[in-house]
Structure 1
Amino acid sequence: MKISPREAERVIDRPDRSVRAFLIYGPDTGLVRERAARLAKTLTGDPDDPFNVSRLSEDDLKSDPAALADAMAAMSLTGGERLVRVRVSGDSAPLGAYLAELDDGGAPAEARLIIEAGDLKKTAKLRKTAEAAKTCAAIACYSDETRDLIAIAEAMLGEEGLQLEPDARAALAPYLEGDRALARGEIEKLILYKGLKVQRRDGDDTVTRADITAISAAGAEAAMDQILDAALGGAPADADRAYQRALGSGQSPVGVLRALQRRLDQFDQVHAAGGDPQAMMRSGAPRFGPPAEAFKKGLRAWRGRRLDQARQRAFQAERAVKRTGAPAEAIVGDLLARLALAAAPASNRRD
């Protein structure tokens, strides 16, 4: 069934029991990921439970056509709702065929299914099948309008006791354009700059235009790019030197981690949109000169399963920062080194 934009949030937060599968797709890959993560938590409570949650990639479906049916038919060993999550970059005829079989009752299903996809045309088999099936909800994710992104910013800032002054609201809007993941990254950068609620001085709870200018300074962006370009382009020594310089200048390791996650999201967005110059432009990637070449090098190194693994490593690092008590500087530094070593051979390949 096709879910209207105004019904999307309700379906994510209160999914109907009769719906066995969910297709979440669209050009805003950040919103696709966010909604899929929220839905997974709604359905299972713990989306990271290895016993009740199975994850399949596009490569998994190609190498083992029966992998999806087997995962969907498997029963829970520990009780609770089982969930299968699949991520594809575009149309998938096998997935479309499975959804049709599931809707007809021909596919045994002990689990529920979440499919994350890129931008699908109306003629895409996966989208057409999902919209026609009674047991599947098709949810499109399109870029938020500026007023919606400002509302998200105010909500996130409000959680940390911060508020935007009118001039700051106008100054912030251009930095939120793009997909929701990139917008959230900019908001989180602003929060880190102002300091968390427990870190700030009393009365320092207003975000000003000067604050927006400070966090968007070209020098800070250049320093961050040096870290990311080296780590994702396969230059471990350069990545470590750039990272240590950034820490010495006061950069937060969590800020570096957030920037890394946004860059990986950009890679995913470009690949999902076809990987051409137009896709790069829409993602907000640099268009000319050395920055563009560095971005392309990283884009060649990280795709498909490799990109999924990099995103998972970044997620695990974030969890470690929050839960283990280990120094964030060491956790993020280790992640950058591992990614740089992994990218070294891949970055030399040509498309």
Structure 2
Amino acid sequence: MKASAREAAGAIARPGDFRAWLIYGPDRGLVRERAAELARKLLPEGDDFALTRLTEDDIKSDPASLADAMAAMSLMGGARLVELRLSSGSASAATYLKDLEKGEYQAEARLIIEAGDLKGGDALRKTVEASGIALAVPCYADSAADTASLVNEALAAEGLSLEPEARALFVPQLEGDRGIARSEIEKLLLYKGLRGQRPEGDDLVTAEDIRAIAAAGGDDAMDRLVEPALAGDVGAADRAYARLLAAGDNPVGILRAIQRRLDLIGEAHAGGGPAAAQRFGAPRFGPAQAIFGRQVEIWRTAGFEAAREAALDTERAVKSTGSPAESLVGDLILKLAMRAARRR
């Protein structure tokens, strides 16, 4: 079956009894966001033991891996979920879903497939749209009104609002990719300060704020921390972190930079290599490109997911425990750098 673009959000909010979902489209940030939302609906407890993640490389190297993952029973009982990330379509996934619907396979888990912009004639998309056990959910770029709503909701959650001139400057920069939009909104929130961190009464985002963020983009100093931290150079990462703190950088901003780089590594895995992440902001030239390529090789499968979860755990701790953000983020940087050094 298939949902229209207008029905997509509701289809994710109310998953129903489908066995599989294909979430696809040109806006990979929105694809990732909706897949994550659906996963939370299907596994509300976030049980990692009940979740199996597969990539395009996995099912190419082992065509039976999808069927095996879907048939495996939960060690703890209860629901299981398989996530498959693709850059395009997959004939083997299409064949599996056809055979599953015909009863040729047993499935204990439910399946979320993330993919790029699949055309109407793609075998996987056609299979899901014709299926009675699967749903295709398209993800097209947000309209200007959608993007404006996204900005307003995120800022309102932190007690901020945009003046009209600032809205006219900021919102058009975000159209086209939900993931990039959220990243830019996070930069704005960090620049202004989260709720409780700002001077009293400083709750309006001005055009000057938007221009200042644009002027500060591409901070080389931040790259000099993120690159060694995720490439396994423990000493360089530790020294870079100390320099950033001495220069007055916010530890939460440093944490966000690490999360953005992990997101780029995830895009590279989903797209089949480092070049696939360049449209999302991955380095294109020179030493930075080579370092990113090494990071993609280092952070694969379970190690990558563990790194991303560690970053999320640190964010939760910063927000909830009251412990110094400098220490929490510093611990994360050292853990990631040491783990990368072991995995090289």
Task: Give the TM-score category using the shorter length.
Answer: 0.7 to 0.9
Deviation at 1:177, TM superposition (A): 4.4
User: What is the distance in 2 between the residues matched to 1:159 and 1:137?
Assistant: 32
Distance in 1 (CA, whole Å) between partners of 2:339 and 2:252 is 21
- The one-letter code of the counterpart of 1:231 is A
Letter in 2 for 1:71: A
Q: Secondary structure at the match of 2:300?
A: helix
Distance in 1 (CA, whole Å) between partners of 2:296 and 2:251 is 22
Q: CA deviation at 1:298?
A: 0.5
Say if 2:11 is the partner of 1:11.
yes
Match of 1:207 among 189, 205, 208: 205
Q: What residue number does 1:153 align with?
A: 151
- Does the CA contact (< 8 Å) of 1:301 and 1:346 recur in 2? no
Q: Which of residues 304, 310, 314 in structure 2 aligns to 1:316?
A: 310
Contact 1:181–1:262 under 8 Å retained in 2: no
> What SS is found at the alignment partner of 1:139?
strand
Unaligned runs of 5+ in 2: none
Larger deviation, residues 268-277 vs 7-16: 268-277
1:299 paired residue number: 293
- Change over 3 Å in CA distance of 1:234–1:144 after alignment to 2: farther
Tell me how many residue pairs correspond in the alignment. Answer: 341
Contact residue 237 and residue 337 of structure 2 kept, 8 A: yes
8 A Cα contact 1:314 1:335, kept in partner: no
SS at match of 2:48: coil
Q: Separation in 1 of the partners of 2:97 and 2:128? A: 7
Q: Does 1:246 align with 2:265?
A: no
Cα deviation per residue 1:107-152 (whole Å; 9 max; x = unaligned)?
Answer: 2223211112234344433223222212111122233344422220
In the TM superposition, what are the counterparts of 1:230-245 in structure 2 within 5 Å? 230-245=228-243
Query: Can you give the 5+ residue segments of structure 1 that lack an aligned partner in the other structure?
Result: none
Match of 2:186 in 1: 188
Query: Does 2:42 correspond to 1:43?
Result: yes
Q: Which residue of 2 aligns with 1:22?
A: 21
> What TM-score does the superposition give when structure 2 sets the normalisation length?
0.84
- d(CA) in 2 for partners of 1:110 and 1:167? 53
Structure 2 CA distance, aligned partners of 1:218 and 1:13? 37
How far is the alpha carbon of 1:237 from its aligned partner? Answer: 3.0
The verdict on how the C-alpha distance between 1:49 and 1:118 changes in structure 2, with shifts beyond 3 A counting, is: same
1:216 and 1:240 mapped to 2: Cα distance?
A: 28
Percent of aligned pairs with the same amino acid: 53
Query: CA shift at 1:35, angstroms?
Result: 0.6
Partner deviation per Cα, 1:66-86 (whole Å, 9 max, x = no partner): 443333234445554332222
Structure 2 match to 1:260: 258
In the alignment, the residues of structure 1 paired with residue 274 and residue 304 of structure 2 have an alpha-carbon distance, to the nearest angstrom, of 22
Q: Runs of at least 4 residues of structure 1 off by over 6 A?
A: 344-347
Q: How far, CA to CA, are the matches of 2:295 and 2:88 in structure 1?
A: 20
The equivalent of 1:82 in structure 2 is 80
SS at match of 1:241: helix
Quote the offset at 1:7 in angstroms: 0.8
On the 8 A contact 1:91/1:120 being kept in 2, the answer is: yes
- 1:311, CA displacement in angstroms? 4.8
What TM-score results when the alignment is normalised by the length of structure 1? 0.83
Deviation by residue 1:189-238 (Cα, 9 ceiling, x = unmatched): 22222222233343221111122233333377232222223334554333
**Alpha-carbon distance between aligned partners in 2 of 1:62 and 1:157, rounded to the nearest angstrom:** 43
**Distance between the aligned counterparts of 2:294 and 2:32, measured in 1?**
22
Q: Where do residues 324-343 of structure 1 align in structure 2 (5 Å cutoff)?
A: 325=321, 327-340=324-337
Deviation, structure 1 residue 56: 3.0
Residues 159/86 of structure 1: CA separation in 2 closer, same or farther (3 Å cut): same
- Please report how far the alpha carbon of residue 103 of structure 1 lies from its aligned counterpart in structure 2 after TM superposition: 1.9
Is the Cα–Cα contact under 8 Å of residues 144 and 175 in structure 2 kept in the other structure? yes
Residue 107 of structure 2, aligned match among 99, 106, 109: 109
How many angstroms apart in 2 are the aligned matches of 1:174 and 1:50? 38
